[in-house]
């Protein structure tokens, strides 16, 4: 399809992209904003695979079109591509959008934790995150999950939605490639994992086993808690706990950083890397 030129920031055809810093499409019929070349490429791959995500429309800075030809060719012809000058694009977004690459995506279907767990292979690695409200941490957790070959990410209902624009951008599109489910209470998610035969390990500075000494199992889940308080005591008392050795003087690692280190060790133990 030939690109459609947009000369007015109030053009109704690109209304979903307007003032994206002040509002987010997350929660509105599963729609979300994908920003940047890498995320656009991941969205194209997800769309082609007919998986959980599809693209509805694309908005580009006019001088970016030629360089994105290979990515745009990955979308079907019925996904419209709109182009605009820098001034018009900035007027649409509400700030200077130097990347000049936006897309409107939609999640085709939601997954429950139970259904996702049931679909996993006999040898599986899962990340479970509870109470993660920081968009950067959620995005980084997905990026870590993709980097170390995790099969799924499970988020409880208190976690922020990974389809928020910033979380999706920080994940470099991994939210679109790593299967995930979001919802339910912590205890419910852990019960579903236990029923699925998973060896459950929770990250804590006071963990009983150093991460390098966690025994490998065919099905393993790494559990991460909130950015400040971590996992609550009643949860820690009901699962295996692991710690990451660190120099004295610092209370704990950032949730996403700790998850990345621990995932690397578990993935190595499982022979994934």
pLDDT of residue 273 exceeding 80: yes
**pLDDT band (50, 70, 90) for residue 248:** confident
- Rounded Cα gap, residues 85 and 70, in angstroms: 21
Instruction: State the chain's mean pLDDT as an integer.
Output: 93
pLDDT of residue 184 exceeding 60: yes
pLDDT at 145: 98
pLDDT of residue 26 exceeding 90: no
Q: Which of 13-22, 122-131, 161-170 has the lowest mean pLDDT?
A: 13-22
**SS3 labels along the chain:** CCCEECCCCCCHHHHHHCCCCCCCCCCCCCEEEEECHHHHHHHHHHHHCCCCEEEEEEEEEHHHCHHHHHHHCCCCCCCCEEEECHHHHHHHHCCCCCCCEEEEEEECCCCCHHHHHHCCCCCEEEEEECCCCCHHHHHHHHHHHHHCCCCEEEECCCCCCCCCHHHHHHCCCHHHCCCEEECCCHHHHHHHHHHCCCEEEEECCCCCEEHHHCCCCCEEEEEECECCCECCHHHHCCCEEEECCCCCCCCCCCHHHHHHHHHHHHHHHCCCC
pLDDT of residue 1 exceeding 90: no
Look at the block and give the residue holding tokens 């791959």: 45
Q: Are residues 265 and 144 in contact, defined by beta-carbon separation less than 8 angstroms?
A: no
- CA dihedral (171, 173, 175, 177) positive or negative: negative
Give whole-number Cα distances, 239 to 183, 190, 193, in Å: 20, 9, 11
The per-residue pLDDT for range 233-247, each reduced to its tens digit, is 999 999 999 999 988
Domains of the chain: 4-107 (3.30.1330.30), 113-269 (3.40.1280.10)
* Strand-pair partners of 201: 222, 240
CA torsion 175-181-187-188 (nearest 10°) is -170
* Single pTM value for the model: 0.94
The per-residue pLDDT for range 38-70, each reduced to its tens digit, is 999 999 999 999 989 999 999 999 999 999 999
pLDDT at 72: 96
Look at the block and give the residue holding tokens 């085709």: 108
What lies within 8 Å, CB to CB, of 53 at 6+ separation is 43, 46, 47, 105, 106, 107, 108, 176
Token code pair at residue 228: 């400040």
Task: Please return the burial class of 115, using the count of CB atoms within 10 Å of its CB with bins 0-12, 13-18 and 19+.
Answer: exposed
Q: For strand 101-107 and strand 31-35, is the pairing parallel, antiparallel, or unpaired?
A: antiparallel
Q: Which of 19-23, 82-86, 121-125, 208-212 has the lowest mean pLDDT?
A: 19-23
- CA dihedral (196, 197, 199, 204) positive or negative: positive
* Residue percentage of the chain with pLDDT more than 70: 97
pLDDT at 250: 77
pLDDT of residue 10 exceeding 70: yes
pLDDT at 20: 84
pLDDT at 251: 74
Q: Which of 85-89, 192-196, 251-255, 263-267 has the lowest mean pLDDT?
A: 251-255
**pLDDT band (50, 70, 90) for residue 227:** confident
The per-residue pLDDT for range 87-143, each reduced to its tens digit, is 999 999 999 988 899 999 999 988 999 999 999 999 999 999 999 999 999 999 999
What lies within 8 Å, CB to CB, of 213 at 6+ separation is none
**pLDDT band (50, 70, 90) for residue 22:** low
Q: Are residues 230 and 203 in contact, defined by beta-carbon separation less than 8 angstroms?
A: yes
pLDDT at 27: 57
């Amino acid at each position: 399809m030939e690109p459609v030129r947009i000369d007015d920031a109030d053009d109704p055809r690109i209304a979903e992209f307007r003032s994206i810093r002040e509002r987010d499409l997350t929660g509105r019929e599963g729609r979300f904003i994908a920003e940047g070349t890498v995320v656009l490429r991941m969205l194209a791959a997800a769309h082609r695979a007919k998986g959980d995500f599809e693209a509805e429309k694309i908005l580009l800075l006019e001088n970016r079109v030629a360089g994105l030809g290979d990515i745009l060719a990955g979308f079907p012809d019925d996904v419209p591509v709109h182009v605009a000058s820098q001034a018009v694009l900035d007027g649409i977004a509400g700030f200077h959008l130097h990347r000049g690459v936006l897309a409107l995506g939609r999640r085709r279907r939601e997954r429950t934790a139970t259904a996702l767990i049931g679909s996993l292979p006999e040898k599986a690695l899962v990340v479970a995150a509870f109470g993660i409200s920081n968009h950067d941490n959620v995005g980084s957790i997905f990026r870590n999950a993709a980097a170390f070959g995790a099969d799924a990410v499970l988020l409880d209902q208190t976690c922020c939605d990974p389809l928020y624009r910033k979380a999706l951008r920080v994940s470099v599109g991994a939210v679109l490639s790593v299967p995930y489910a979001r919802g339910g209470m912590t205890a419910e998610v852990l019960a579903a994992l236990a029923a699925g035969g998973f060896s459950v390990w929770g990250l804590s500075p006071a963990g009983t086993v150093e991460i390098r000494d966690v025994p490998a199992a065919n099905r393993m889940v790494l559990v991460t808690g909130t950015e400040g308080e971590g996992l609550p005591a009643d949860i820690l008392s009901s699962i295996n706990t692991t710690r990451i050795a660190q120099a004295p003087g610092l209370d704990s690692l950032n949730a996403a950083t700790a998850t990345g280190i621990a995932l690397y060790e578990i993935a190595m133990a499982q022979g994934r890397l």
